[in-house]
Amino acid sequence: MAAKTLMVQGTASSVGKSILVTALCRILRQDGWKVAPFKAQNMSLNSFVTRDGGEIGRAQVVQAEAAGVEPTVEMNPILLKPEADHRSQVVVRGKPLGGFAAKDYYALRAQLWPVVTESLEKLLTEYDVVLIEGAGSPAEVNLKDRDIVNMRVALHCRAPVILAADIDRGGVFASLVGTLELLEPEERSLIKAFVINKFRGDLSLLEPGLRWLEERTKIPVAGVIPYYHDIHIAEEDSVSLERRRAMKQKCDYVLDVAVIGLPHISNFDDFDPLEQEEGVRLRYVEPGDQLEEPDLIILPGTKSTMNDLAYLKSVGLAGRIMDHSRRGKPVIGICGGYQMLGGKLLDPGRVESADSEAEGLGLLPVITTFFPVKSTHQIRATVMAGKGFLEGASGLSLSGYEIHMGQTSGMETMAPFRIDERSRKVCQDFDGCLSSDGNVLGTYLHGLFHNEALRRSILCDLAARKGVAFQATGKVLSKEEQYDRLADWVRGSLDMELIYRTIDLKRP
């Protein structure tokens, strides 16, 4: 029997569609259903590698985790990774198809729609419920004839649609009613309920507006979800402005960790566990910010290593990072950040940029050469190094993943990590480079700080350098605990009887 479906669309980007689907995945799993997420086309630099080496958007991985199922490329068959303002790398079923300008990408629509439908149909045969996420708004009239992610998907599988809106931005009623007005009658007929996200204040003051909305549209409000601050779920697009401000304003901390806010930063959820450590101030250093004197500088991953390296040099951050290192203070580079730490970056095929080579920061004795083929693997590894800020971590087991298009050489005798398993195949390879003084680390391993024992070992070493003790004063909740908290928060705010009727499921 084909799975039941429910689609969450939004009045705009960043109104909470991904989080709502994540919560519903967890709720339905808790209620005993086998659930899969689906998003036909995702645009994000926050990606992940599936067990079989396919690359998909991080949001669908989070949703699959919440549902308790293995993420697969069918859950996000098309991923767009922006490389510039009008150009993206197109990843189809987990593998790069190439880089395309926006107008050229739309010409691929006829080729990509069967990929969408085949992926969706596969999920519909394997699960009880498929929860579908839209993108942006279904009411973008200039894009509707090219739609392969919103109403065209809903119409294809006759999915009932919940329309979500963000009240924190203001204009919530105009957004909901205006979206309906711009839909075709057949599309409007699929909208079965509204959900209002990110509410702050007294709900009784909102209720007259909710009654007006229901009378005006004849569509019920399924719930109003209050704003939350203490639930940490990996975000899809970027660290929100409000979160970034809160991080920088944190006062009660022992350690200051500065992540360089590169223009094309990717996989920023690498640092979420550091944000949750009560004794750590994690901050993103962006244009206009002072680097100050952090205990640790992190150069994160990037979709455009050469261009972002040029940015560091142009704004003076390259010199500040090198000075920080010369004073014996720790620096960590992950993926593209690792490549920048080397002596030279070579791009003979112009894979990364229009330049064939660039001088790196020279903090590690390695050279990176870019190739068109992307390496995407889940990995298991062991810490081999026993010096610098890894001194207390030797022998620890790690898990993580790799996503990169460059190959780095020259680190063989200085590699801090031994790769024990790559894409489910046993191996004995090596990753990364640790400087001779143990203060500069480069690695291709994403998810490094999600390994609690390694994270705490590094933080304790950083604190000891300052002559203070680092003790975790609060428990960092696991992903499973975070998903359960999110499900409880959303379940308590939604009319679950209405949700079950909309899906056409019998509520347990």
Q: What is the CATH number of the domain that holds 275?
A: 3.40.50.880
Q: Domain check: are 432 and 488 in the same one?
A: no
**Backbone phi and psi for residue 275, each to the nearest 5 degrees, phi listed first:** -60, -35
Contact 26, 41 (CB under 8 A): no
Q: Which residues contact 240 (CB under 8 A, 6 or more apart)?
A: 14
* 54: in domain: no
pLDDT of residue 358: 94
If one counts the domains in the chain, the total is 2
The 10s digit of each residue's pLDDT in 237-261 is 655 556 666 677 787 889 999 999 9
Q: Report whether 455 contacts 449 (CB < 8 A).
A: yes
Average per-residue pLDDT for the chain: 92
pLDDT band at 231 (very low <50, low <70, confident <90, very high): confident
Q: Are the C-beta atoms of 396 and 451 separated by less than 8 Å?
A: yes
Placement of tokens 């992540």 in the chain: 259
- Mean pLDDT, residues 126-135 taken together: 97
- Identify whether residues 259 and 165 lie together within a single domain: no
Q: Which two structure tokens, joined as six digits, stand for 35?
A: 């659930």
Burial (Cβ within 10 Å: 0-12, 13-18, ≥19) of residue 503:
buried
Q: Is residue 80 part of a domain?
A: no
Same domain, 134 and 215: yes
Instruction: Decide: residue 14, CB within 10 A, 0-12 exposed, 13-18 middle, 19+ buried.
Output: middle
Contact 452, 273 (CB under 8 A): yes
pLDDT of residue 46: 86
pLDDT band of 405, cuts 50, 70, 90 = confident
Q: Are residues 299 and 224 located together in one domain of the fold? A: no
Q: Is residue 383 part of a domain?
A: yes
Average pLDDT over residues 290-299: 96
Report yes or no on 83 lying in a domain. Answer: no
Instruction: Please check whether residue 156 lies inside any domain of the structure.
Output: yes
The residue from 232, 264, 377, 446 that is catalytic is 446
Residue 324 and residue 191 share a domain = no
Q: 183 and 288: one domain?
A: no
Is 433 part of the annotated catalytic residue set?
Answer: no
Active-site residue among 335, 377, 404, 450? 335
CATH code for the domain of 219: 3.40.50.300
Give domain status of residue 297, yes or no: yes
pLDDT in tens, 349-363: 888 888 889 999 999
- Examine the domain organization and report whether 68 and 8 are in the same domain: yes
- pTM of the predicted model, to two decimals? 0.88
- Report the alpha-carbon distance of residue 231 to residue 274 in Å, rounded: 14
Return the structure tokens found at 300.
Answer: 């994160």
From CA 81, how far away is CA 298, in angstroms rounded?
22
The answer to whether residue 412 scores a pLDDT higher than 80 is no
Same domain, 254 and 186: no
**Residue 253 shares a structural domain with residue 192:** no
Shared domain check, 206 and 261:
no
Question: In this structure, are 116 and 208 located in the same domain?
Answer: yes
Residue 507 pLDDT? 87
Asked if residue 46 is part of any domain, the answer here is: no
User: Within a domain: residue 476?
Assistant: no
Look at residue 473 and tell me whether its pLDDT is greater than 60. Answer: no
351 and 384 share one domain: yes
Q: Which of 84-98, 142-156, 218-232 has the lowest average pLDDT?
A: 84-98
Q: What is the DSSP letter of 389?
A: G
Known catalytic membership, residue 156: no
Structural domain for 204, as ranges? 4-40+63-75+112-231+481-503
pLDDT tens-digit map of 413-449? 789 999 999 988 999 899 999 999 999 999 999 999 9
pLDDT at 230: 81
